[in-house]
Chain A
Amino acid sequence: MTQRGLRTIALLVALCVAFVANAVGAAPSARPPVVLRIATTDDLINLDPTQTSQAGDRWLAENIFNGLVAYKPGGTQIQPDLATRWEISSDGKVYTFHLRRGVRFHKDYGEMTSADVKFSLERHLDPATASLARSEFEVIEKIETLDPLTVRIHLRQPVGSFLGILAWQPAFIVSENAVRKLGKQFAFEPVGTGPFYLDSWSKGQEIVLSKHSGYYAGPARVDRLVFKVIREELVALMAFGRKEIDVVPVRELPAYKAMAGREASFNVTRSFAGYYLLYVNGTKRPLNDVRVRRALSYALDRPTMYKALAGMIQPNPSIFSPVTFGHTRDIPSYDYDLARAKQLLTEAGYPSGFKIKINYSQAFLYEEFATMIKDQWTRLGLDATLEVVDRALVSRIRREKNYDVLPGSITRFEPEQHLVFFRGGASTNYTGYSNPAVDGLMDRAARELNLETRRKMLGDIQRAIAEDVPVIPLGAFQSIIVTRKSIKGVAPAIYEGMVDYYLVWVEE
């Protein structure tokens, strides 16, 4: 045999040995670990609750941390979490929380105490933290720790949605020791009390969460969550088809359409997550005329749009998400009426229409909406044009009101979180809308402690805003999670793509 032949055989043998060694290394133990592979379009960016903003990070954080209270699955009703019960003073300004006994942080960071709670919430107020959610915590006057398991929060004024603020991610409780010890590194080595801890992270590739054996409600039924970074949803669905992935959150139309007709072979969990809207720049002529804004809304044939969007979007006339407390459909909804729209335009002095520019960034369903809206407004007689805006520029042109109309989407849960976009003069008011009567109602509703009265006030606010049309609601969007048939317990989520994996198990 030639020397080359021998070398080839030697290489083949070596390769076989390598494969066998691999197989032996993976020899089964008593029970194979239950591993879920989850597609995520975002790599880990920052898991410090004061900094988290990207969807992918939220999906991780939800399973790593707990708050004092939590939202019930699929809605915004409050349930106990790290606090087992609480009292609210009659003036609505003092909240006293009784903490769960024996809650353990990940990785030997010990038991959670009231000091951790105080630290976690007060961090937001320190300018050096540059917390993204700072404005929501500014209502806190001071926090007292009465004993290791009791914490008292004093507010500057009553806020109807305070428990809701505590139920969402920025209010997650972190280990004070871990934050002090790890510093900036805490963002990538988070320490919480949740059912999973961050086990490893291979940048650009995968993030692995493992089950926290000391979780207060008992260990999770899934041993490991492997979040695989796959930037294209369509590619993630291909990997799903190849059984390389078990869970795919779907947020884009092409991937959603690719699922259609194959739904018998996998589970789909849908729940409301937020809503799409069209910001209308009310500081510009002729958009400052409410008749024109109403005409624009009447001219939208929403059912046709929803059909084109394959059911990803559902009707929602309100500026609240369907899950938000006080959400109502008993408000003007501007159902498609082209004749009415034309009449309104004529009344406003624009019988032959006007020029309007639709700016949009190429994210989510903005492009789909923008092109359909252009078509429908052309039918109204407007000279509508499209203009793409770089994603990095959107927030600036919106803030500086340097646009005519601009599609956007909002994922928020509490009434006050939605209403910041409509308060006269606020930095988050992108449309120039100002209605002193509405501002006054907002103030009163925020302080109202009687839930029924508050609900009624919030209804009045939604109605008044719907009449003024500072924005044109386009419809509610859903959180869509595709999973294998064998995966059970995926609960509806109010944030798109998010899953509470503590509730999930895999059927044999």
Chain B
Amino acid sequence: MGVYVLRRLVTSVISIVAIVSFIFLVIHLTPGDPVDVLLGEYWTPELALSVRAKLGLDHPLWLQYVRYTAGVFRGDLGESFRTGRPVVHDILSQYPHTIRLAVASLVFSIILGLPLGVLSALRRNTAIDLAAMTSSLIWLSVPSFWFGLLLILLFSVRLGLFPVTGAGVLGSVPSMAHHIVLPAIALGARMAALVARMTRSAMLDVLGEDFVRTARAKGLPSRRVTYKHALRNALIPIISIIGLDAISLLGGSVVTEMVFSRPGVGSLLVAGVFQRDYPVIVGVLYFFVTAVVLMNFATDLMYAVVDPRIRYDVRG
């Protein structure tokens, strides 16, 4: 196990650096000069030259890359072209908002999706099953920004139950919880549908297995059969779906944060892209890529926890 973890860690770091290097190069080759965006109508040849020098854009690309990478290993992601603030600083202040939103959506999707999937499997081909699976198909297809706006219209504007925008008073748990409900639903709906559908099919597979029939035959109560024997075995594919798809929550947070005017890494990224703020874009993507790689890693480890048959020994 230890060797496995170590090996995975090393390959993780390598893939993070490789991906971000690629992004760094691609972004610098994207049409659109940050100096142009920065100066707009104020552009004059002299001013453009001095700003270019100030931002370090007057050096050849390879030198910019080497400097940037050297900085990354010192924990320095550069300074925003636009604000002059250290990018690390901004990401550190923003990522808790994004993580909170992602976790809230994840919790929402599991709380809603898992029981719904189990119920559908147990009541297969009934009206309940049909309703649950049809609605999950709808949630899978609805874009989160549109769904978010609908939620705002209904629950904030019409019913006045939740605030329209923002993340609440920092440090006040009730206020922050109040503000996170709608965004978490908007972002988590797709995932909840996915979890429900996955749970249903995994449960159906397991319910047909011999050991379930044996458990029933030896007279175990049906609740015990469902939860202890069937669900536990159905969890493996569900966990891998959650693990893989939790990544999409991070991507989705970009849009959700915009719709609900929430602070977060997604908002930071969007502003960065509009303004061709290279250090901000690359810095935020570093954060995203790292999160994705870590999440994949965590998913693999979860398998071993859930299924005792899975062992990551080198000898196998």
Give residues in A with beta carbon < 8 Å to B. Answer: 15, 18-19, 22, 43, 45-46, 53, 127-128, 130, 132-135, 184, 187-188, 202-206, 228-232, 235-236, 238-239, 241-242, 244, 390-393, 395-396, 399, 410, 427-428
Interface locus among B37-45, B293-301, B307-315: B37-45
**A53 contact from B40, B156, B267, Cβ within 8 A:** B40
A202 touches B39 (CB 8 A): no
**B32 contact from A53, A235, A393, Cβ within 8 A:** A393
A19 touches B174 (CB 8 A): yes
Q: A235-B152, A393-B31, A395-B36 are in contact. Are A230 and B43 (CB under 8 A)?
A: no
Q: A43-B271, A202-B263 are in contact. Are A244 and B43 (CB under 8 A)?
A: no
Give residues in B with beta carbon < 8 Å to A. Answer: 31-34, 36-37, 39-45, 47, 50-51, 54, 82-85, 90, 93-94, 97, 152-153, 156-157, 160, 163-167, 170, 172-174, 258-264, 267-268, 271, 274-276
Shortest distance from the beta carbon of B116 to any chain A beta carbon, whole Å? 23
Shortest distance from the beta carbon of A254 to any chain B beta carbon, whole Å? 12
B276 touches A392 (CB 8 A): yes
Name 6 extra pairs, CB < 8 A, besides A46-B83, A239-B164, A392-B275: A15-B174, A130-B51, A239-B163, A244-B163, A395-B40, A395-B43
A242 touches B261 (CB 8 A): no
Provide the residues of chain B in CB contact with A132, threshold 8 Å: 39, 42, 47
Shortest distance from the beta carbon of B44 to any chain A beta carbon, whole Å? 5
A130 touches B261 (CB 8 A): no
A395 touches B47 (CB 8 A): no
Provide the residues of chain B in CB contact with A239, threshold 8 Å: 163-165
Q: A46-B84, A390-B31, A395-B40 are in contact. Are A205 and B47 (CB under 8 A)?
A: no
A232 touches B261 (CB 8 A): yes
Chain B residue, CB-CB nearest to A412? B41
Provide the residues of chain A in CB contact with B44, threshold 8 Å: 134-135, 427-428
A205 to B36, CA, bound (A): 27
Provide the residues of chain B in CB contact with A241, threshold 8 Å: 157
B33 touches A228 (CB 8 A): no
Q: A235-B165, A238-B157 are in contact. Are A396 and B263 (CB under 8 A)?
A: no
Chain A residue, CB-CB nearest to B170? A202
A239 to B182, CA, bound (A): 14
A370 to B202, CA, bound (A): 53
Provide the residues of chain A in CB contact with B276, threshold 8 Å: 392
A238 touches B156 (CB 8 A): yes
A242 touches B160 (CB 8 A): yes
Shortest distance from the beta carbon of B38 to any chain A beta carbon, whole Å? 8
Shortest distance from the beta carbon of A108 to any chain B beta carbon, whole Å? 24
Provide the residues of chain A in CB contact with B42, threshold 8 Å: 53, 132-133, 135
Q: A135-B44, A427-B44 are in contact. Are A232 and B166 (CB under 8 A)?
A: no
Shortest distance from the beta carbon of A156 to any chain B beta carbon, whole Å? 17
Q: A242-B160, A391-B274 are in contact. Are A230 and B261 (CB under 8 A)?
A: yes
A219 to B248, CA, bound (A): 50
Provide the residues of chain A in CB contact with B97, threshold 8 Å: 204
Provide the residues of chain B in CB contact with A22, threshold 8 Å: 172, 174
Shortest distance from the beta carbon of B270 to any chain A beta carbon, whole Å? 8
Shortest distance from the beta carbon of A80 to any chain B beta carbon, whole Å? 28
B85 touches A244 (CB 8 A): no
Shortest distance from the beta carbon of A361 to any chain B beta carbon, whole Å? 11
Chain A residue, CB-CB nearest to B86? A184
**A204 contact from B83, B156, B163, B267, Cβ within 8 A:** B267
B37 touches A235 (CB 8 A): no
B165 touches A244 (CB 8 A): yes
Provide the residues of chain A in CB contact with B271, threshold 8 Å: 43
Provide the residues of chain A in CB contact with B36, threshold 8 Å: 392-393, 395-396, 399
A13 to B258, CA, bound (A): 36
Provide the residues of chain A in CB contact with B165, threshold 8 Å: 228, 230, 235-236, 239, 244
Provide the residues of chain B in CB contact with A19, threshold 8 Å: 174
A428 to B173, CA, bound (A): 52
A133 to B274, CA, bound (A): 22
Chain B residue, CB-CB nearest to A136? B42
A130 to B43, CA, bound (A): 11
Provide the residues of chain B in CB contact with A232, threshold 8 Å: 258-259, 261
B32 touches A390 (CB 8 A): yes
A134 touches B47 (CB 8 A): yes
**A242 contact from B47, B164, B267, Cβ within 8 A:** B164
**B41 contact from A235, A244, A395, Cβ within 8 A:** A395
Provide the residues of chain B in CB contact with A133, threshold 8 Å: 42
Chain A residue, CB-CB nearest to B262? A204
Provide the residues of chain B in CB contact with A134, threshold 8 Å: 44, 47
Chain A residue, CB-CB nearest to B40? A395
Shortest distance from the beta carbon of B150 to any chain A beta carbon, whole Å? 12
B164 touches A392 (CB 8 A): no
Provide the residues of chain B in CB contact with A228, threshold 8 Å: 165-166, 261
A205 to B94, CA, bound (A): 10
Provide the residues of chain B in CB contact with A202, threshold 8 Å: 170, 263
A44 to B51, CA, bound (A): 20
B163 touches A242 (CB 8 A): yes
B47 touches A130 (CB 8 A): yes
Provide the residues of chain B in CB contact with A135, threshold 8 Å: 42, 44, 47
Shortest distance from the beta carbon of A155 to any chain B beta carbon, whole Å? 20
